[in-house]
Amino acid sequence: MPNTRDEAYWQAIAQRYDLEPGPINLENGYFGRMSRAVLAQYQEHVAFINRSNSVHVRQRFEQGENEQIRRQLAELIHTDPEAVAFTRNATEALQSLIRNYNRLQPGDQVLISDLEYDTVKGAMRWLAGYRGVEVIEVSHAHPASFDSLVQAYRDTFSRYPRLKLMALTYVTHRTGLVMPVEAIAQAAQEHGVDVILDGAHALGQIDFDLAQLGISFAGFNLHKWIGAPLTLGFLYIAPQRLADIDPDMGEFHYPATDVRARTSYSTPNFPALMTLPLVFEEHRALGGASAKGARVKYLRDLWVSQVRPVPGVEVLTSDDPRLYCAITAFKFTGRDQQVMADRLLDEYNLFTTLRSGAAFGTCIRVTPGLVTSAADIGVLVNAITRLNAD
């Protein structure tokens, strides 16, 4: 595995990506970049499919190319092709799982926390009217520890015995907190609660095995940390649980025994899908999620270790290595976070983003990526300490 601190090595990797001149981008969590090679191939595929139109799609793509790509996707997450179906993004995958989970009866309870993604919260709340369930909403205590998170779920399961289904976010988009998924899924199983895992930020920066985690239902995208073109995601259903998710809105193009019936049948972004073999090859060549994840965690540690001790700066994400990844959020205590984020940009050329909606309030989210250097992190540390002292 490459040394996470080897700046020369990682700057050579960074050279594979084209960057628009502008601010130092510390908001790499929204979506990822394609490498120059992936972009070039994607553009070729766009031009080719535009020329060939349905001829290539009907004669080749639908006659086996699509299956090969699906097999490669399954390999990426160490599962069988029968467990995965492409979607356009994580939201589509998660909404389908939530909408079509068929084991809920009126009066059952479903669970979300303040750290879930808003569209997931919305879809789970929608189940109240659609399935007649009660939606239980909990806020996580802050700061959280591995044990406190697991205990919070254990307590919730005991308090609400009619719970049947919960949403769980692997990497929360507000603070980058990495949930102890395996331990929570174990506790959920003991209480007869099914988990729908939102893996949007996990894929590509955390190496995981869904079967080992005890997860039967999950949604992902491929455009954050894998480096694929935008508009690709997928859902995962453990094959032995397929019958618990109905075909999506009467979907009939695939038999009910096929996971692909759990998404809408539509014309996909063929050129993007056709680019995936190269995307996966590059991901593997970089050392996969463990190498990429280790590099971005190192960059995260570099700034957090220097600003966490500073009075007036509150880093919201745990330092337990099991509980964080690239993304980490912080606050300038008692200040208007929007003003401070604007000052980071205007005075120090640092592009970050604000996140709100969790119990701890608005925070500034910092997400280094593969193109981020240790020098960029130095600019951030200097900016935070100076603005804090100002």
Ligand X SMILES: Cc1ncc(COP(=O)(O)O)c(C=O)c1O
Asked whether position 96 contacts ligand X by CB under 6 A, the answer is no
Cβ proximity to ligand X, 237 vs 307, nearer residue? 237
The least distance separating ligand X from the CB of residue 177, rounded to whole angstroms, comes to 11
Asked whether position 27 contacts ligand X by CB under 6 A, the answer is no
Residues in CB range of 49: below 8 A, 6 or more apart: 56, 57, 270, 271, 274
Report DSSP state, residue 292.
Answer: H
The least distance separating ligand X from the CB of residue 173, rounded to whole angstroms, comes to 3
The least distance separating ligand X from the CB of residue 35, rounded to whole angstroms, comes to 20
| Lookup result for tokens 């595929």 | 45
Asked whether position 233 contacts ligand X by CB under 6 A, the answer is yes
Site string for ligand X, 208-227 (x = CB under 6 A): -------------x------
Asked whether position 369 contacts ligand X by CB under 6 A, the answer is no
Query: Which of 99, 201, 283, 292 contacts ligand X by CB under 6 A?
Result: 201
Interface segment toward ligand X; rule CB under 6 A; list 86-94, 130-138, 341-349, 371-379:
86-94
Asked whether position 140 contacts ligand X by CB under 6 A, the answer is no
Residues facing 168 on adjacent strands: 197
Contact 177, 184 (CB under 8 A): no
Quick check: helix, strand or coil at residue 196?
strand
Residues in CB range of 208: below 8 A, 6 or more apart: 77, 170, 181, 199, 202, 289
The least distance separating ligand X from the CB of residue 240, rounded to whole angstroms, comes to 25
Q: How far apart are CA 255 and CA 245, in angstroms?
A: 13
Asked whether position 367 contacts ligand X by CB under 6 A, the answer is no
Residues in CB range of 8: below 8 A, 6 or more apart: none
Cβ proximity to ligand X, 348 vs 351, nearer residue? 351
Asked whether position 90 contacts ligand X by CB under 6 A, the answer is yes
Report DSSP state, residue 181.
Answer: H
CB atoms under 10 Å from CB of 50, counted, come to 9
Task: Give the binding site for ligand X (CB under 6 A).
Answer: 89-91, 117, 169, 173, 198, 200-201, 221, 233
